[in-house]
């Protein structure tokens, strides 16, 4: 192994730390892109399928799962093993074999491979490179490792996405006397669709998906005769400047993209929509009448129509010619999804019609989108789906207490057509996250522990409903429920006062006369409603007086660090929402970030902040004034984050 300081491995993500004493073997796959500089690692995905020997990955299973999970435009570039430097060869060998499973032969085999090694004791990383991609070639140590400081900008400044949705009805005929032939018929029908995608008479229309820019270029047309299915994406050259016209052979993806972008992320990336137009008519100078051909079946047959919807998302350089984007990204992506659906549906095609549908996600910590196939015949809470999502969380390194890969969190690029956001994040006209940017608490040397995730600010007189003087706890509850809703733990709408009262009557906590009343509710009632409507459990903390609240700061800080949910504080007939604490463990000095539901003005952020309706409060301020009264009993409701995926 030679030392070569001329090369650099560039990391757009943080290397995954292996736990001390991890078994030796392949633990992670390294993902890069042909559109980025060589040896650039975009993401690191865990290897989760192994053969009986724990040090050997099951390459067949891994390839089947990674093929659809990783969008076209990203590719496997290496593996990460635990052990010493000699294990770098094993990592490169495993990556080389997996690459053959994923992409077959061809030019991809000549691309460099990275073998990463994590020391079993120290956890330090070392990277080795095999330049030719051939597992038998010499590998060299890379001494220069660059941790990119702005990875989103690095990836998306010169990148874009292509989206293609293609609904298909597959007609499958099979003889009644030999129903097992249905598999051959399905494979034949799939092959016919693939042939149409590659047909020289096929037409692909490309257009900008977002309608926010007033000067959108007209759509471009790519015809099947212009496609090149053998181009090496890593070696494509940008089109000559000024060679721009409406002929797709002279257009690149930059034709549809914005030059000066202010934000860099999956949600804000330029997205090109690709529509497939199957054209069976060719140009002809001769006149001809339409012909219908009748071919009778030789024996009794049955027709099964299989409805499938392909939905492909790809990453591309803005410099890539449109015809290469279609032939080397979109069409291979559609074919992979067709084959995935075929393998899934064939075993039970005659028993039931599996409802398999792809969804795209942008989970935190992963720079590129991922694509997941869900079987919609099963509910999201059924154990088969839960176990499947857990395996995805494990592969991607996601926490198990957040529903990051539920359908409610999927990207929806159809919203871009109306100038919206690709995210399915629910929107409303209410103020959100009003604590962001407020002045500091004034606690010297304190540790901040804040609510994590978005919430809506609910307060008196909203929605044209006069609850002044009695509805503060209702409003605090609405803010808490909005947090669960915006984190996609639930899809229910934020309940009205009457719906909250109705829930308490339905569980037997209140009499029917309670509905429509102006009766105050407290922490216990809030916990009942959260349990009924969301299935959320709560912890209730009792404090005998406001003077004791600072003693609870350590426990409250732990809540925000582990549960992250807003807290309701109730005392007498007043209720507030607690969004965080700033606590100095050494001095005991602390402050509470209070969101006050007693505000009666318009939803104007400046008025809210300048009026002190959201801000830091100390138990006793510099003027000796008590915010939390010493002679008042307080209940704190701490909603617990559901342990769900």
**pLDDT tens track for 287-330:** 777 778 777 777 888 888 889 999 999 999 999 999 999 999 99
**The pLDDT value given to residue 120:** 74
**The pLDDT value given to residue 247:** 57
pLDDT at 64 over 60: yes
- 21 sits in the region (left: phi over 0; alpha: psi -120 to 50; else beta) called left
Query: 318-348 pLDDT, tens per residue?
Result: 999 999 999 999 999 999 999 999 998 888 8
**The pLDDT value given to residue 578:** 97
Structural tokens at position 58: 């099951």
pLDDT at 100 over 50: yes
More confident residue, 625 or 486: 486
**The pLDDT value given to residue 141:** 93
Query: 615-630 pLDDT, tens per residue?
Result: 998 866 555 566 665 5
**The pLDDT value given to residue 164:** 96
**The pLDDT value given to residue 115:** 95
Highest mean pLDDT among 207-211, 238-242, 408-412: 408-412
Q: How confident is the model at residue 508 (pLDDT cuts 50, 70, 90)?
A: very high
Average confidence score pLDDT of the chain: 87
Q: How confident is the model at residue 390 (pLDDT cuts 50, 70, 90)?
A: very high
What DSSP state is assigned to residue 513?
Answer: G
Euclidean distance between CA atoms 135 and 3, whole angstroms:
18
What DSSP state is assigned to residue 199?
Answer: -
**The pLDDT value given to residue 84:** 85
pLDDT at 139 over 60: yes
pLDDT at 48 over 60: yes
pTM of the model: 0.78
Residues 6 or more apart whose Cβ sits within 8 Å of residue 424: 408, 409, 410, 411, 412, 488
Closest among 392, 362, 398 to 16, alpha carbons compared: 398
Q: How confident is the model at residue 244 (pLDDT cuts 50, 70, 90)?
A: very low
**The pLDDT value given to residue 492:** 85
Q: How confident is the model at residue 1 (pLDDT cuts 50, 70, 90)?
A: very low
Query: 552-585 pLDDT, tens per residue?
Result: 999 999 999 999 999 999 887 789 999 999 999 8
Please identify every residue annotated as catalytic.
472, 596, 598
Highest mean pLDDT among 73-77, 135-139, 182-186, 569-573: 73-77
Q: Can you tell me the mean pLDDT for 457-478?
A: 96
**The pLDDT value given to residue 509:** 96
- 208 sits in the region (left: phi over 0; alpha: psi -120 to 50; else beta) called beta
Angstrom distances, CA of residue 490 to CA of 374, 403, 404, 427, 480: 19, 10, 12, 14, 12
Q: Can you tell me the mean pLDDT for 194-199?
A: 94
Q: How confident is the model at residue 283 (pLDDT cuts 50, 70, 90)?
A: low
Closest among 80, 141, 146, 78 to 114, alpha carbons compared: 78
**The pLDDT value given to residue 242:** 46
Q: Can you tell me the mean pLDDT for 375-400?
A: 89
Quote the distance between the C-alpha of residue 451 and its chain's center.
Answer: 21
Closest among 229, 225, 192 to 331, alpha carbons compared: 229
User: Can you list the pairs that 602-609 forms with residues at least 24 positions away whose Cβ atoms lie under 8 Å?
Assistant: 603/429, 603/430, 603/431, 603/457, 603/462, 605/431, 605/434, 608/431, 608/434, 608/457, 609/434, 609/437, 609/438
**The pLDDT value given to residue 135:** 58
pLDDT at 434 over 80: yes
Angstrom distances, CA of residue 566 to CA of 71, 361, 370, 472, 636: 36, 26, 30, 15, 11
**The pLDDT value given to residue 3:** 44
pLDDT at 213 over 70: no
Q: How confident is the model at residue 245 (pLDDT cuts 50, 70, 90)?
A: very low
């Amino acid at each position: 192994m030679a030392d070569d300081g001329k090369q650099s491995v560039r990391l757009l993500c943080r290397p995954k730390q292996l736990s001390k004493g991890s078994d030796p073997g392949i633990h992670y796959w390294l993902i890069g892109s042909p559109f980025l500089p060589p040896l650039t690692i975009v993401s690191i995905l865990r290897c989760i399928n192994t053969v009986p020997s724990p040090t050997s990955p099951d390459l067949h299973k891994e390839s089947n799962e990674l093929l659809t999970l990783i969008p076209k435009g990203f590719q496997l570039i290496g593996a990460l093993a635990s052990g010493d430097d000699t294990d770098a060869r094993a990592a490169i060998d495993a990556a080389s074999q997996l690459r053959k499973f994923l992409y077959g032969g061809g030019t991809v085999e000549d691309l460099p491979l990275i073998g990463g090694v994590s020391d079993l004791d120290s956890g330090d990383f070392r990277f080795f490179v095999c330049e030719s991609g051939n597992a038998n070639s010499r590998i060299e140590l890379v001494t220069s490792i660059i941790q990119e400081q702005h990875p989103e900008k690095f990836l998306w400044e010169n990148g874009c996405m292509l989206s293609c949705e293609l609904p298909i009805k597959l007609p499958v005929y099979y003889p009644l006397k030999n129903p097992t032939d249905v598999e051959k018929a399905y494979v034949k029908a799939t092959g016919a669709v693939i042939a149409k995608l590659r047909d020289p008479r096929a037409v692909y229309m490309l257009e900008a998906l977002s309608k926010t820019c007033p000067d959108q270029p007209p759509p471009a047309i790519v015809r099947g005769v212009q496609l090149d299915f053998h181009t090496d994406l890593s070696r494509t050259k940008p089109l000559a400047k000024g060679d721009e016209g409406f002929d797709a052979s002279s257009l690149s993806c930059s034709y549809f993209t914005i030059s000066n972008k202010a934000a860099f992320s999956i949600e804000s990336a330029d997205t090109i929509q690709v529509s497939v137009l199957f054209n069976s008519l060719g140009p002809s100078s001769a006149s001809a009448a339409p012909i219908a051909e009748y071919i009778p079946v030789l024996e009794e047959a049955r027709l099964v129509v299989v409805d499938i919807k392909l939905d492909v998302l790809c990453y591309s350089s803005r410099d890539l010619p449109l015809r290469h984007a279609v032939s080397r990204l979109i069409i291979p992506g559609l074919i992979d999804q067709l084959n995935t659906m075929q393998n899934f549906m064939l075993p039970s095609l005659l028993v039931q019609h599996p409802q398999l549908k792809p969804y795209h996600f942008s989970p935190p910590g992963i720079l590129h989108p991922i694509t997941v196939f869900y079987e919609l015949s099963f509910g999201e809470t059924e154990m088969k789906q839960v176990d499947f999502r857990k395996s995805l969380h494990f592969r991607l390194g996601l926490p198990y207490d957040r529903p990051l890969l539920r359908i409610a969190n999927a990207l929806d690029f159809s919203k871009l057509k109306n100038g919206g956001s690709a995210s399915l994040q629910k929107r409303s006209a209410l103020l959100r996250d009003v604590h962001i940017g407020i002045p500091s608490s004034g606690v010297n040397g304190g540790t901040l522990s804040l609510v994590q995730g978005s919430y809506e600010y609910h307060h008196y007189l909203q929605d044209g409903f006069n609850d002044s003087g009695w509805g503060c706890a209702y409003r605090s509850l609405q803010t808490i429920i909005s947090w669960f809703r915006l984190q996609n733990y639930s899809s229910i709408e934020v309940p009205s006062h009457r719906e909250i009262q109705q829930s308490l009557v339905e569980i037997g906590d209140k009499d029917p006369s309670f509905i429509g009343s102006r009766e105050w509710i407290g922490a216990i009632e809030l916990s009942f409603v959260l349990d009924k409507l969301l299935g959320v459990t709560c912890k209730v903390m009792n404090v005998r007086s406001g003077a004791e609240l600072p003693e609870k700061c350590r426990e409250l800080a732990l809540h925000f660090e582990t549960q992250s949910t807003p807290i309701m504080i109730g005392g007498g007939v007043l209720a507030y929402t607690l969004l965080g604490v700033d606590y100095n463990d050494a001095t005991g000095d602390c402050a509470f970030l209070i969101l006050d539901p007693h505000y009666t003005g318009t939803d104007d952020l400046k008025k809210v902040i300048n009026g002190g309706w959201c801000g830091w409060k100390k138990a006793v301020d510099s003027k000796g004034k008590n915010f939390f009264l010493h002679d008042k009993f307080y209940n704190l409701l701490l909603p617990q984050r559901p342990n769900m995926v």
